[in-house]
């Protein structure tokens, strides 16, 4: 079931990212080509969905998409290129990972990565306007969350499963108490300040 106001072009890919703002972990991007007809009840911008609904839709998107791809840029690349350019690199990788070459790429936001092999257009609030971008936002977000759950298994004291790496009071308190992990983004202000004090995580 699809909304009447969705923009749906089967030869076009939607691209979106997840994880630009957190203090830890990779930034993820996804690219999705939807068929002309699909059945994805509740499809919308991932930020408007509950985690449970995102997880359900992610499985449905992967089953119904003509092609989909998820990619990331890790903390080393975020440090080397800055978060914006690392995000653009992740987007480029996501498009390159598609098994079907789209005629055009719609990208959420106001920036288009350089070096794409096809025409591309940035779309402000595209994750609420273009179905394939909304689908990409869900795949990127669920992949990013999966990384945080894996990190929470390794370092439960930081609470990554709850705040997903964002700079919440709980996360900042954990940083103060336990120090900076190798997975933290060293150029982000709260992390950088603690590194200047030599506050590194030390395993028991």
pLDDT per residue over 147-190, tens digit each?
A: 999 999 999 999 999 999 999 999 999 999 999 999 999 999 99
Q: What local confidence, expressed as pLDDT, does residue 118 receive?
A: 93
What is the helix (H) or strand (E) element at residue 73, kind and residue range?
strand 67-73
CB within 8 Å of 189: residues ≥ 6 apart: none
- Predicted pLDDT of residue 4: 52
pLDDT value for 147 = 98
- Asked if residue 2 has pLDDT above 80, the reply is no
* pLDDT, tens only, 4-58: 554 555 689 999 999 999 999 999 999 999 998 999 999 999 999 999 999 999 9
Burial 18-32 (b: 16+ CB within 10 A, else e): bbeebbbbbbbbbbb
Domains within the chain, CATH numbers bracketed: 12-151 (3.30.420.10), 155-196 (no CATH)
Query: pTM here?
Result: 0.93
Read off the pLDDT of residues 33-44 as tens digits, 9 standing for 90 and up: 999 899 999 999
Half-sphere exposure of 202 (CA within 13 A, CB side): 4
CA separation for the pair 172, 63 (Å, rounded) = 38
Asked if residue 91 lies in contact with residue 107, where contact means CB atoms within 8 angstroms, the answer is: yes
- Tell me the pLDDT tens digit for each residue of 86-133: 999 999 999 999 999 999 999 999 999 988 989 999 999 999 999 999
Q: What is the pLDDT of residue 59?
A: 98
What is the pairing mode between strands 120-123 and 104-108?
parallel
Over 50: is that where the pLDDT of 1 sits?
A: no
């Amino acid at each position: 079931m699809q909304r009447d106001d969705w923009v749906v072009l089967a030869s076009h890919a939607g691209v979106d990212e997840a994880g630009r703002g957190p203090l830890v972990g990779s930034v993820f991007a996804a690219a999705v080509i939807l068929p002309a007809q699909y059945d994805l009840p509740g499809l919308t911008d991932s930020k408007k969905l509950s985690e449970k609904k995102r997880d359900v839709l992610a499985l449905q998107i992967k089953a119904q998409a003509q092609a989909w791809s998820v990619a990331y840029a890790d903390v080393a690349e975020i440090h080397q290129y800055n978060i914006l350019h690392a995000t653009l690199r992740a987007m480029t990788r996501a498009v390159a990972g598609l098994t079907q070459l789209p005629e055009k790429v719609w990208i959420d936001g106001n920036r288009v990565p350089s070096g794409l092999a096809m025409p591309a257009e940035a779309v402000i609030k595209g994750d609420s306007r273009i179905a394939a971008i909304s689908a990409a936002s869900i795949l990127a977000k669920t992949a990013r969350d999966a990384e945080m759950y894996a990190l929470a298994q390794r370092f439960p004291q930081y609470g990554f499963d709850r705040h997903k790496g964002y700079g919440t009071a709980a996360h900042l308190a954990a940083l103060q108490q336990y120090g900076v992990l190798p997975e933290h983004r060293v150029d982000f202000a709260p992390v950088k300040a603690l590194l200047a004090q030599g506050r590194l995580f030390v395993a028991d």
